[in-house]
Amino acid sequence: MTKPLLIGVTGGIGSGKSTVCRIFQAMGVPVYYADDRGKFLMSNDEGLIQEIKKEFGEESYDENGALNREYLAKTVFADTDRLKVLNSFVHPAVARDFETWVNINSDHPYLLKEAALLYEIGSYKELDKTICVMAPKKVRIERVLLRDIQRKKEQVEQIMSKQTDDATRRNLADYQVSNKGDLLLIPQVLNIHEELLNSVS
C-alpha cells in the first residue's frame, strides 16, 4: 500500500488556515492541527512535562498538574533563547505524535498538517508539498482583533514580526490560496484537492 502524500498548510496569523482546513475536512481529508496538538502534548505527554519542569521549574504546572500558561508565556515570550529551548522540547514531541497520526490515517491518498511555523522551523522539508493561505497584513490584523478580543494590535504585529514574510511564503509554497475576500475559497480548495488526487492516482 502506498504511503499518503503529506501536505502542509500554513500562513500568517489571521490568514484563514483553519477555515481552509475545514473545507478539506468536509471533503473527507484528515487534518493534523500541529499547534493544537502541541498544546495538548504539553499537558498530557509525561516525558515532555518532565522536560519542561526540569528546565523552567515546577511552577510551569499548577498543583492540579495543569500547564501554567501565564507563567510560561512570561518566562519565554520575551526571551528568544528561552523560547528556542521550549521549542526544542515541544517540536520533537509533535513530530513523534504526527508520525503516529500518519500511520493511523495511512489509508487516505493525502493528509494535511496545519501549522503556523511550517517554514520558520523547517518542518516543511519533511512534507511532500505545502499550501500557503495568503491575505494582506491589514486584513489579517482586523480578523485577529475581531476573533481574539483580548489581543491588542501591537501584540498581533509582534507575532507577525516573528513569522515568515509573504515573499518567502510565496517562494516556498507549492500551492497558494487567496483569502483576502475577493475570491471564493471553496473553488480554490477544490482545484488543489483534485490536483493532489491526480498526482497520487
Q: What is the pLDDT of residues 52-87, one digit of tens each?
A: 999 999 999 998 889 998 888 888 877 888 888 999
Sequence length of the chain is: 201
Domain boundaries, the chain: 1-30+111-201, 36-104
pTM over 0.85: yes
- Low-confidence stretches of the chain (pLDDT < 50) are none
What is the model's pLDDT at position 1?
53
Q: What is the pLDDT of residues 150-166, one digit of tens each?
A: 889 998 898 888 888 88
Q: Yes or no: is domain 1-30+111-201 CATH 3.40.50.300?
A: yes
19 labeled part of a ligand binding site: yes
**3-state class (DSSP) for residue 62:** coil
16 labeled part of a ligand binding site: yes
Check: CB of residue 6 under 8 Å from CB of residue 110.
yes
15 labeled part of a ligand binding site: yes
Integer Cα distance of 98 and 149 in angstroms: 31
What is the model's pLDDT at position 142?
93
What is the model's pLDDT at position 117?
86
